[in-house]
A and B are shown apart, each in its own frame.
Chain A
């Protein structure tokens, strides 16, 4: 059903164009008076104490890694759910094995303290 995807693409293009067109049209109605102070980064009315582009705490990368591991896992569950009735007990057993491996990983991550935030 390729035509099923056609509306999506057209709609996506419309959704991107809509704000752009508005932006373009209203450029002529909008004031544009940039002055250096106005363009400074907002930090509660005080000149920024330091750059915001420093290295940030490593915690957030752990979240990303955990996410990749477990989100891929959930994606594998979708085909199982669709073919659930055909696969019956074989599918249940397969998924049980699959999940138990991931649960072991989850417990390991938990024990390691990867789920202790900040």
Chain B
């Protein structure tokens, strides 16, 4: 129909911080015309803890557990990025055995993170059941973590220079068991959702980000790959021995929420593939490189980025030669991806905002740091 007969007033609505589907304490101010979103504004900082500043008052090792508190659903990836950055500064490399175990644990973490995303995203769309199925499988991963390092969520699994702990008896067997089980479970999730007409209707064509948009906003990770850009740091700039493993980068073309969903589902399958390869071939040998008890990196700076479950996670570390970092700057993928929210939401409906926030896969701990 042509333009409205009467001007309706613009409705300004706070969505969050206390809202069931803003995934934490994100506050989005929506400008609405009826159900149509005219514009959005993100208000962040409700979970700001000054992680980067804390780093300047801790020794290099002491800061490692803090990074787990950023993206707490993918704590292992955070730890890996930080360890790699400091190792680069030190000029050491983790021993092959440590690298293999790191790959296994980070890929399991990618699965755990994507599972949590899938469950909550489905919940946002109104399918309440997949959450519980996802949590069930995530539990296996967390159990492996618990057996490995004693913690389930904020694991602090890695140390600068390698690993603190040797793998436990039956580690490989449990990982493989999980892989076997999980491949069937992904099919199960896809049966519930992928072909579901309502699910497809809700997601296709919603929150489109083209490849150009992604590049302009610096969007990375599954969102970028859903837009058709084959960019995965594991392939582009391999770290921790990823070049040894045979896996594919799932890519889709449209860059809408449905494609992001598909990309993440396929990524989980690829992660299973990597875990299988890595478990089959864990080299023997030491687990910790010679870094000494007191870490004093030479004066200099280093930037390392890894492919975290949510996108490119970068650590820029500066050393003044002392036992404490001079500056740690973190590039959190959620924070950068969240910038594109307004672009995606304009012209969408209120219900779409929820779907878009869902597939952006933000963790506020990481956005606010």
Residues of A within 8 A of B (CB): 43-46, 48-50, 52, 54-60, 112-114, 116, 118
Q: From the candidates B7, B8, B12, B33, name the one contacting A50 in the complex (CB within 8 A).
A: B12
- Which residue of chain A has the shortest Cβ distance to B31 in the bound complex? A49
With both chains docked as a complex, state the minimum distance between the C-beta of B39 and any C-beta of chain A, in angstroms. 13
With both chains docked as a complex, state the minimum distance between the C-beta of A73 and any C-beta of chain B, in angstroms. 22
For B7, the chain A residues whose CB sits under 8 A away are 55
Cα distance, A57 to B10, chains bound together (Å): 9
User: Does A57 contact B1, Cβ atoms closer than 8 Å?
Assistant: no
With both chains docked as a complex, state the minimum distance between the C-beta of A66 and any C-beta of chain B, in angstroms. 12
Cα distance, A57 to B1, chains bound together (Å): 13
User: Does A44 contact B14, Cβ atoms closer than 8 Å?
Assistant: yes
User: Does B1 contact A55, Cβ atoms closer than 8 Å?
Assistant: no
Cα distance, A114 to B162, chains bound together (Å): 65
User: Does A56 contact B12, Cβ atoms closer than 8 Å?
Assistant: no
B13 at the interface (CB under 8 A from A): yes
Q: From the candidates A44, A46, A58, A114, name the one contacting B4 in the complex (CB within 8 A).
A: A58
User: Does A57 contact B14, Cβ atoms closer than 8 Å?
Assistant: no
B136 at the interface (CB under 8 A from A): no
B273 at the interface (CB under 8 A from A): no
Cα distance, A112 to B27, chains bound together (Å): 38
For B151, the chain A residues whose CB sits under 8 A away are none
B234 at the interface (CB under 8 A from A): no
User: Does A54 contact B9, Cβ atoms closer than 8 Å?
Assistant: yes
With both chains docked as a complex, state the minimum distance between the C-beta of A81 and any C-beta of chain B, in angstroms. 32
User: Does B11 contact A46, Cβ atoms closer than 8 Å?
Assistant: no
- Which residue of chain A has the shortest Cβ distance to B20 in the bound complex? A44
With both chains docked as a complex, state the minimum distance between the C-beta of B34 and any C-beta of chain A, in angstroms. 3
For B27, the chain A residues whose CB sits under 8 A away are 44, 46
Task: Given A44-B19, A59-B34, A118-B36, output 16 extra A-B contacts at Cβ < 8 Å.
Answer: A43-B14, A44-B16, A45-B17, A48-B14, A49-B13, A49-B14, A50-B11, A54-B10, A55-B6, A55-B8, A55-B9, A56-B9, A57-B33, A58-B4, A60-B34, A112-B1
Q: From the candidates B4, B16, B17, B29, name the one contacting A57 in the complex (CB within 8 A).
A: B4
User: Does A44 contact B34, Cβ atoms closer than 8 Å?
Assistant: no
- Which residue of chain A has the shortest Cβ distance to B22 in the bound complex? A44
Q: Contacts A44-B19, A49-B29, A113-B1; is A56 near B34 (CB within 8 Å)? A: yes
User: Does B8 contact A43, Cβ atoms closer than 8 Å?
Assistant: no
List 23 A-B residue pairs with CB atoms under 8 Å apart, sorted by A's residue number: A44-B16, A44-B27, A45-B17, A49-B12, A49-B13, A49-B14, A52-B11, A54-B9, A54-B10, A54-B11, A55-B8, A55-B9, A56-B9, A56-B34, A58-B4, A58-B5, A58-B6, A58-B8, A60-B34, A113-B1, A114-B1, A118-B36, A118-B349
B339 at the interface (CB under 8 A from A): no
Q: From the candidates A46, A48, A116, A118, name the one contacting B34 in the complex (CB within 8 A).
A: A118
- Which residue of chain A has the shortest Cβ distance to B36 in the bound complex? A118
With both chains docked as a complex, state the minimum distance between the C-beta of A52 and any C-beta of chain B, in angstroms. 8
Q: Contacts A44-B19, A112-B1, A116-B1; is A56 near B8 (CB within 8 Å)? A: yes
Cα distance, A54 to B12, chains bound together (Å): 10
Cα distance, A56 to B19, chains bound together (Å): 23
B15 at the interface (CB under 8 A from A): yes
For B15, the chain A residues whose CB sits under 8 A away are 44
With both chains docked as a complex, state the minimum distance between the C-beta of B348 and any C-beta of chain A, in angstroms. 10
- Which residue of chain A has the shortest Cβ distance to B4 in the bound complex? A58
Cα distance, A58 to B18, chains bound together (Å): 30
B281 at the interface (CB under 8 A from A): no
Interface residues of B in 227-281 (CB under 8 A from A): none
Cα distance, A52 to B10, chains bound together (Å): 11
B146 at the interface (CB under 8 A from A): no
For A116, the chain B residues whose CB sits under 8 A away are 1
For A114, the chain B residues whose CB sits under 8 A away are 1
For A118, the chain B residues whose CB sits under 8 A away are 34-36, 349
Cα distance, A58 to B36, chains bound together (Å): 12
For A43, the chain B residues whose CB sits under 8 A away are 13-14
For B14, the chain A residues whose CB sits under 8 A away are 43-44, 46, 48-49
Cα distance, A45 to B17, chains bound together (Å): 7
